Amino acid sequence: MIKLIVGLGNPGSQYQKTRHNAGFLFLDHMAEACLSSWAVESKFHGVVSNCLIAGKKVTLLKPQTFMNKSGLSVGAVARYYKIKPEEILVAHDELDLSSGVVKLKLGGGHAGHNGLRDIIQNLGEKEFYRLRFGIGRPSAGKKVADFVLSNASKKEFEDLLFSSGLAELQIPLVVSDEMAKAMNSLNKK
């Protein structure tokens, strides 16, 4: 059962509509759907919202450490609440998926994603769930860092909103331990 849903992104209004903030965007929609507000939790280096989803209490976390240090925040929450890695779902941007695509998986490497790299390092484990929001790859000659930290186009932002909506529909299954059903729904072509 998922007890913690983490959205990856960078704090600050200048990053709000960047591709790298797909996880923050998703969690903002989750908190809104739960009619839940955000509270600053300095001991967790982030902002937290508590939701009731499918009758279960789930903590939402947006690390405020910037992407490259996301593990500091995730690790603090996991240790405080004694949450196992397999009870964590991390929502993040994914270069290897096209814009508008969302996929769910368990474990894997970091594929160069610095937020995932830091979470793996802090948890000492890579077997946590990932909700991967496609952002596509930059055009030839453009640096990945510049691409992920630049604002999504209007179409790309609409794609992120659409894929967030698709993922949100599956979260009740995810927190109810029906991960296979959620994966089948999100991962089909």
- Helix extents (H) in the chain: 22-33, 70-81, 114-123, 144-148, 154-175, 179-187
| Strand-strand pairing, 129-134 and 88-94 | parallel
Residue 5 burial (CB < 10 Å; 0-12/13-18/19+)? buried
Q: Is 92 marked active-site?
A: no
Q: Are 8 and 89 spatial neighbours (Cβ–Cβ below 8 Å)?
A: no
| Strand-strand pairing, 129-134 and 102-106 | antiparallel
Residue from 20, 45, 92, 113 carrying the catalytic annotation: 20
Return the SS3 of 126.
coil
Residue 96 burial (CB < 10 Å; 0-12/13-18/19+)? middle
Q: Catalytic residue positions?
A: 20
